[in-house]
Chain A
Amino acid sequence: MAQYDLTYKIAPYLERHLVFPLLEFLQERNLYSDDQILKAKIELLAKTNMVDYAMDIHKSLYHTEDVPEAMVERRAEVVGKMKMLEEAAAPLINFLQNPALVQELQSDKQSNLQKLNERHQIGPNQIEALYQFAKFQFECGNYSGAADYLYQYRTLCTNSDRSLSALWGKLAAEILMQNWDVALEELNRLKEVIDSKNFSSPLSQLQNRTWLMHWSLFVYFNHENGRNAIIELFFQERYLNAIQTNAHHLLRYLAIAVIINKRRRNSLKDLVKVIQQEQYTYKDPITEFLECLFVNYDFEKAQQKLFECGEVIENDFFLGKQAQEGSFVTVPLRDEFLENARLFIFETYCRIHQCIDIRMLAEKLNMDYDDAERWIVNLIRNARLDAMIDSKMGTVIMGTQRSSVYEQIIESTKQLSIRSYMLANGVVAAAAATQGYNL
């Protein structure tokens, strides 16, 4: 299943620290050999300041107690630097740790800065130091500290670029601490900034959007309301655009989010279109499933793909989160996906058939006869299906879904009245405008 693994595609768009959980997950799933993953981990850590951790991994990778010189040196260097930064930022941190003083700060940034400067001798240098220190903290793995400092930094910061990177830092820290509510807030804030800000080049804006989408995967698939939000975000045209140019693999997540979201049926059509457009660059069982079902109406193949989808989901970090229920280990998202996908198949099937053999259907849906029958009965009872079961023949007979000629005519004329109303309004408005102009 390693061929469908997206880690290597996603990783470039993530923070180093964010890749870490992905690797951990891969290690659990045993898709790759342990050595490979450990090596990747060390490489990942080499650029961060989490030296101690890197040392541990090194030991377990090579089964030795020795640690390379470079690592030891780096450790000393990191500790030294940390001290230095801490000192530099100390006055400001002291100030911020005093809640009484912090309350004095007002919403106006300029006056705050002035006040700080006058009363506490805290100038831009200290504020800069705070940023550096926060960054350093983050690199060392102290996310909560970093998040706090960054939050405070943002209230003082005037540089918009810096403030943006502080936001990114905060988001990363929150994600790593798994504070999903806060992370979602940060995410939205960041999105606003990205959409509103005038970037130097459209290219970097695109880049930022792509990053945002990747990072959002962490949040959306963990937050309870994330599934709606992900569809909303990804279907915004600017983001869809970014997906199609930069990150086709995100289609997988979008597809899954759409399938498991019962209320979002209408976005399915758009999704299928996008998938079709991009099928020459990106393909995985999930998108293929949708294609089989909604483009080719090839139910056999869809069934087959559905089976593969299950595995893909299990092996995906964002999707394959496991839930413990007693002694069972289930992947809730997978089950939900399969259930919905089955429903899709059935619905589509019903649309083009007027008479279906339940036995065959059961086979297609991976159920036994009784289950299938019960399932269909439930569907009919919930008024989601206009059909009857002929239990003697073992078939489902669909109600006719054709609209009568009358309906068709009513439908088309109804639209006409709306349109002419609009037109009339438009003419009136235009006339009023010109009159006003003439006067």
Chain B
Amino acid sequence: MVHTVEQVKNSMKINDWVSIEENYDKLNKQLEKVFRVTESEVVPRVYIKALVMLEDFLAQALANKDAKKKMSPSNAKALNYMKQKLKKNNKQYEVEIEKFRENPESEVEEDKDSEMMDQSETESEAGYSDEEPDKIIGFSDSDAGDEEPEGGDGPWEKQKTRKEKIMDKQFAKDPSEISWEMVDKKVKEIIAARGRKGTDRAEQIEQLTYLLRVAKTPAQKLEVLMHVVSAQFDVNLSLNTHMPINVWKKSVQNVLSMLDILAQYPNIVLEDAMDPEMENESQKGADYDGPIHIWGNIVAFLERIDDEFFKSLQFIDPHTKDYVERLRDEPLFMVLAQNVQDYLERIGDMKAAARVALRRLEHVYYKPQAVYEAMRMQSRSVTTGENIDDGDSELDDEDRQMTKFSSDMKGPPAFVSVLEIVPRQPSFPELSRTLMDQLLSLIYRVGDERTKPRAMLCDIYYHAVSEEFHTARDLLLMSHLQDSVQHMDISTQILFNRAMAQLGLCAFRASLISEAHSCLSELYAGGRVKELLAQGVQQSRYYEKTPEQEKLERRRQMPFHMHINLELLEAVHLVSAMLLEVPNMAASALDPKKKVISKNFRRLIESSEKLAFIGPPENVRDHVMAATRALSRGDAEKAIEVIQSLDVWKLLPKKDHVLKMLKGKIQEEALRTYLFTYSPYYDALSLDQLIKMFTLSESQVHSIVSKMIVAEELHASWDQPTRCIVTHNVEPTRLQALAAQFAEKLTVLMDSNEKAYEAYTGGSLDGPPAGRRKESQDYASVTTGRWQGELSTAQGKQSSYSRYGSTGQRSLFNVGRTSQSRVGGTGGYKDLRSTQGNVRGGTTYSSTFQSTRYQDAYSSVGRTPYQSGSSVRGGQTDASGRMVSLTRSGRF
């Protein structure tokens, strides 16, 4: 660069404007390079010097008209060009140039030092350098004139802040002289600089923190605190990275001290919308009685802090110590949230309090009692054992330390010292349930459209974790969330999916196999569980994600400690599918109308049957397939052995219990499968032999066989004196079989006719229901009847059970556990949603078709992801992409 400047000088001497221009451009390019290398935008001295020189020379050249005339045309052209360029360019560096002109040499050294300093400061900032290239382009491209004045802001700002620093030092020397106005003015200045390019955010924070100490009135202190926190949030601009942890901790402390002030001076009111007139209210002193309005929104701060916490957990590698360290900060947040909530309740802002309560809830709901206990103990030990953990306790005393520090060393004592009123120690109730109940009741009472369903889902999740399947299920069904969740935001949908998964696990532990299966099957229907649960990104074969989508998806990932173990989930799903599907397959092996319970499972079986050689099982799926093969032969022992060898079971809290349950179930289903498969080949079966074969008790075998006989699955009857099952197998003649088939086909035809009729007329047929639909149809009509009459007896409970088929209720969201004995006392959960009761009658028929089986109580529960999936399949094409990544159930 220096070299180029020399060249400029030389050509100046010979008045060669062409080479000057060339060299000038070169110089600018080099400047750019320098900027890149040093990552600073302070203009090197040499450059300024060259500019000054050029300017002077230019003025000289222009003045000398004779010389101009003498110049060659190319030279003259270059001169004019140069004139324009220089004018424009020099505008940016006006200040520097001025300065340089004032004292050309003396400052050089000093400036260089500060440059170095700045450089190191700026380097520490993340994302800072990103902005540089833009600016440079602005520099060198003379056409982009608009940008240049802006670009010039950077260094100017820099200088100002440096000046401010000096001013601060002055302040520090003489604290008593600082008046309210001075502080106010200063704050405004700093705030004005906020958000501009080139503002050093870290420095801003420092300055503000200093101002905090000298703030004159509590109100002002609060005001400054507000700005400090917002400045701290500014430190990290990118959405994809998280805030530095120490900054996070500091901002937590700041919000806490905000609460201190608010608690100490109840007359200070925080307001979102601010009248300009009220701007100076913070002038009023501590003894002022009337209300003081300060701009600020503490809930927004809290939510931001929470989001940052969440984000940091997303980004920290879960297998490192950092992650654990970070998790330890959770109680800190809980304290803060608790205090904020208390404050909001005190001032009567219940809506916001409910939002905060939800935040707290979302930190608790996934924790079983043991984990909760651990958190509680940990938070206690942190606060009692002082300074053990450098994080919390030290920061707890930050206020105090700061004052001490400042009085000892150089700064003034804080003018407004605020006592620590707000408790710094979290007070967790002993049982997480108690905490949950507190929060939930608040949210149900005052929450809004978003918080209520979320709280409900958290509650369901929690119940599922704590083994209360029925309560969780009732809550889910009564809230009709599965109908409305598709219209909610993605994170709520994720929460819903998580709750469903957990509900499935819970059902499994409670040995409710078919419930577990129906909870989980839809989750697995599309094969994108990871995506549905937001536990990792899955690549799809059919569909490329755009980077934005991927980014979005990454952003909503669950932190690791909240994950539901996928392997366990898969094992549970497949095992329950196996238990249901294998006997079903055996039963309907020869039946033309096959009822498929789990399509997913069927697919797996087919693919495993295609294998020429079957190796020893490796993953969960192989294990289950091996067990399936054994089970379909009726070999219970082998199946049990294979299933029990799965590793994932050790993740279950009550492993032995569950395994025992599983063993029993497998034995039972093996018996059923055996009977289905082989009974046609027997004339009679002895009870004792069956008992021995399947190591079941006599009453169990008897009960199972009886059930099958009654359900006409098994054409047999007991011969009591000989303890035998006598089968009645009648082989139909060919004519009979054909006739039966013909009748069957006619029925199918009839069904489709009726369907078509309904599709055209929209109504259903009245009159005697026919055939196998009798039952479900009865139910459907009955349910709609009830719902029409009752609209919202607040209890859609039954509708749940089987009769979900009837669509009549789809549009009802009335929940409410009324004051029942079960809840104990009055009002559990009242009207989740306003009762929007437009019951559609009439269309009952078509929907009942789907749920002919009484057992699929859950069909609609489980169906949700699928439904939303189908609705999204359309959405995919129009590239709305809103829910795409979440609920594409992938039935292509």
Question: Interface on A for B, CB 8 Å cutoff?
Answer: 9, 12, 195, 202-203, 205-207, 237-238, 240-242, 244-246, 273, 277, 280-281, 296-298, 300-301, 348, 351-357, 360, 393, 395, 398, 400, 402, 405-406, 408-409, 412-413, 415-416, 418-420, 422-423, 426-427, 430
Contact assessment for B818 and A245 in the assembled complex, using a CB-CB cutoff below 8 Å: yes
CA separation between A281 and B473, bound complex, in Å? 13
A352 close to B719 (CB less than 8 A): no
B546 at the interface (CB under 8 A from A): no
Determine the chain B residues whose CB is within 8 A of the CB of A238 once the complex forms.
Answer: 786, 789-790, 793
Is A203 a contact partner of B794 (Cβ separation < 8 A)?
Answer: yes
Chain A CB within 8 A of B848 CB: no
Residues of A within 8 Å of B822, CB to CB, are 281
Query: Which A residues lie within 8 Å of B835 (CB)?
Result: 202
Q: Are A422 and B765 in contact (CB under 8 A)?
A: yes
Residues of B within 8 A of A354 (CB): 717-719, 726
- Bitwise, B725-756 to A at CB < 8 A (1) or not (0) is 01010101000100110011011001001100
Contacts of A412 in B (CB 8 A): 743-744, 747, 771
Question: With contacts A395-B721, A423-B753 known, is A241 near B699, CB below 8 A?
Answer: no
Q: Interface segment, B162-170, B365-373, B700-708?
A: B700-708
Instruction: Pick 6 A–B contacts, CB within 8 A, sort by A.
Output: A12-B821, A203-B793, A246-B818, A297-B707, A357-B721, A423-B750
Asked whether, in the complex, the Cβ of B786 is within 8 Å of the Cβ of A241, the reply is yes
Inter-chain contact A430/B761, CB cutoff 8 Å? yes
**CB distance B797 to A244 under 8 Å?**
yes
How far in angstroms is the closest Cβ of chain A from B736?
4
Known: A206-B790, A416-B770. 4 other contacts (CB 8 A): A237-B782, A419-B750, A420-B750, A430-B760
In the complex, what's the smallest C-beta–C-beta distance from A67 to chain B, in angstroms?
34
Q: Which residue of B lies closest to A209 (CB)?
A: B793
1/0 per residue, CB under 8 A from A, across B754-792: the answer is: 100100110001011011000000000011011001111
Q: Are A298 and B699 in contact (CB under 8 A)?
A: yes
Return B716 CB to nearest CB of chain A, in Å. 9
Q: Is B798 an interface residue (CB 8 A)?
A: yes
Among candidates A9, A280, A348, A409, residue contacting B740 with C-beta atoms closer than 8 Å: A409
Give chain B residues whose Cβ lies under 8 Å from the Cβ of A413. 743, 746
A409 to B782, CA, bound (A): 30
- Report Cα–Cα, A245/B793, bound state, in Å: 10
Complex: A376 Cα to B301 Cα, angstroms: 81
Q: For the complex formed, measure the closest distance between the CB of B389 and the CB atoms of chain A, giving whole angstroms.
A: 45
On whether the beta carbons of A202 and B790 are closer than 8 Å, the reply is yes
B816 CB–A CB distance under 8 Å: yes
Decide: B719 and A355 in contact? CB cutoff 8 A: yes
- Tell me if B2 is interfacial: C-beta within 8 Å of chain A: no
Interface contact A298-B793, CB-CB below 8 Å:
no
Closest 9 interchain pairs by CB?
Answer: A297-B706, A245-B795, A237-B786, A354-B717, A353-B718, A202-B792, A415-B770, A405-B736, A206-B793
Whether A203 and B754, one on each chain, are in contact in the complex, defined by CB atoms closer than 8 angstroms, is no
Q: A297 contacts B793, CB within 8 Å?
A: no
| Cα(A395)–Cα(B720), bound, Å | 9
B710 CB within 8 Å of chain A:
yes
| A374 nearest CB across to chain B (Å) | 20
Is B586 at the interface (CB under 8 A from chain A)? no
Q: How far is the CB of A24 from chain B (nearest CB, A)?
A: 24
B645 at the interface (CB under 8 A from A): no
Which residues of A sit under 8 angstroms from B45, Cβ to Cβ?
none
* A280 to B467 alpha-carbon distance, docked (Å): 13
Nearest-neighbour CB distance to chain A for B285, whole angstroms, equals 52
Question: Does chain A have a CB within 8 A of B470?
Answer: yes
Contact of B816 with A203 in the complex, beta carbons under 8 Å = yes
Q: Is the CB of B743 within 8 A of A405?
A: no
A405 touches B793 (CB 8 A): no
Q: A241-B793, A241-B797 are in contact. Are A408 and B765 (CB under 8 A)?
A: no
Cα(A430)–Cα(B470), bound, Å: 46
Tell me how many residue pairs across A and B have CB atoms closer than 8 Å.
155
Q: Which of A242, A281, A351 contacts B470 (CB 8 A)?
A: A281
Residues of A within 8 A of B470 (CB): 280-281
Q: Which of A206, A297, A400 contacts B703 (CB 8 A)?
A: A297
Query: B709 contacts which chain A residues (CB < 8 A)?
Result: 351-352
Residues of A within 8 A of B820 (CB): 245-246
Task: Assess the B736–A277 pair: CB atoms within 8 A.
Answer: no
B positions within 8 Å CB-CB of A:
470, 699, 702-703, 706-707, 709-710, 715, 717-722, 726, 728, 730, 732, 736, 739-740, 743-744, 746-747, 750, 753-754, 757, 760-761, 765, 767-768, 770-771, 782-783, 785-786, 789-795, 797-798, 801-802, 814, 816, 818, 820-822, 830, 835, 854
CA distance A275 to B880 in the complex (A): 47
User: B743 and A409: CB pair below 8 A?
Assistant: yes
Assess the B765–A426 pair: CB atoms within 8 A.
yes
In the complex, what's the smallest C-beta–C-beta distance from A73 to chain B, in angstroms?
31
Which residues of chain A come closer than 8 Å to B792, judged between CB atoms?
202
Nearest Cβ in chain A — how far from B787, in angstroms?
A: 9
Whole-angstrom distance between the Cβ of A277 and the nearest chain B Cβ: 5
- A4 to chain B: closest CB distance in Å? 16
Closest beta carbon of chain B to A256's beta carbon, Å: 21
CA distance A237 to B671 in the complex (A): 38
Chain B residues with Cβ below 8 Å from A277 are 798, 801
Point out the residue from A351, A356, A408, A422 that lies within 8 Å of B767, measured CB to CB: A422
Known: A237-B782, A416-B743, A423-B765. A355 touches B721 (CB 8 A): yes
- A419/B770 in contact, CB under 8 A: yes
Min distance, Cβ B464 to any Cβ of chain A, angstroms: 15
Check B798–A416 contact: CB distance below 8 A: no
Question: What is the CB-to-nearest-CB distance from B725 to chain A, in angstroms, rounded to a whole number?
Answer: 10
The chain B residue sitting closest to A236, CB to CB, is B786
Shortest A161–chain B CB gap in Å is 20
Residues of A within 8 A of B801 (CB): 277
CA of A240 to CA of B728, assembled, Å: 40
| Contact among B720, B754, B794, B830 with A360 in the assembled complex (CB-CB below 8 Å) | B720
The CA-CA distance from A427 to B754 in the complex, in Å, is 10
A290 to B821, CA, bound (A): 24
Q: For the complex, give the distance between the alpha carbons of A195 and B709 in Å.
A: 42
Contact yes or no, A202 B786, CB < 8 A: no
Pick from B710, B782, B821: contact of A351, CB under 8 Å: B710
How distant is A319 from chain B, measured CB to nearest CB, in Å? 21
CB-CB under 8 A from A419, the residues of chain B are 750, 754, 770-771
A25 to B744 Cα, complex, angstroms: 59
Q: In the complex, A323 Cα to B819 Cα: how many Å? A: 38
Cα A345 to Cα B830 with chains together (Å): 44
Which residues from chain A contact B703 at a C-beta distance below 8 Å?
296-298
Task: Contact check, B818 vs A203: say whether CB atoms are below 8 A apart.
Answer: yes
Smallest CB separation, A146 vs chain B (Å): 28
- The 8 Å CB contact of B818, one of A206, A237, A296, is A206
Q: How far is the CB of A310 from chain B (nearest CB, A)?
A: 23
Q: Are B757 and A426 in contact (CB under 8 A)?
A: yes
Which residues of the other chain, A, contact B750 by a CB distance below 8 angstroms?
A: 416, 419-420, 423
- Considering the chains assembled together, what is the distance between the CA atoms of A238 and B760 in angstroms? 32
- Interchain CB contact under 8 A, B740 and A202: no
Which residues on the A side are within 8 Å of B797 (C-beta)? 241, 244-245
A415 to B854, CA, bound (A): 21
Q: Which residues of B contact A300 (CB under 8 A)?
A: 699
Chain B residue contacts of A297, Cβ below 8 A: 702-703, 706-707, 710
Residues of the A chain whose Cβ atoms lie less than 8 Å from the Cβ of B736: 405-406, 409
| Residues of chain B lying within 8 A (CB to CB) of residue A398 | 717
Q: In the complex, A184 Cα to B721 Cα: how many Å? A: 51
Q: How far is it, in angstroms, between the C-alpha of A164 and the C-alpha of B241 when the chains are bound?
A: 65
Complex interface: chain A residues within 8 A of B743 (CB): 409, 412-413, 416
Which of chain A's residues have a CB closer than 8 A to the CB of B768? 418, 422
Residues of A within 8 A of B732 (CB): 405
Which of B715, B744, B761, B785 contacts A426 (CB under 8 A)? B761
Q: Are A408 and B795 in contact (CB under 8 A)?
A: no
- Least Cβ–Cβ distance between A245 and chain B, in angstroms: 4
> Across the interface, which residues of A come within 8 angstroms of B739, CB to CB?
405, 409
Q: Which B residue sits closest to A421, measured CB to CB? A: B767
Q: Write out the residue numbers on chain B whose beta carbons fall within 8 Å of the beta carbon of A9.
A: 821
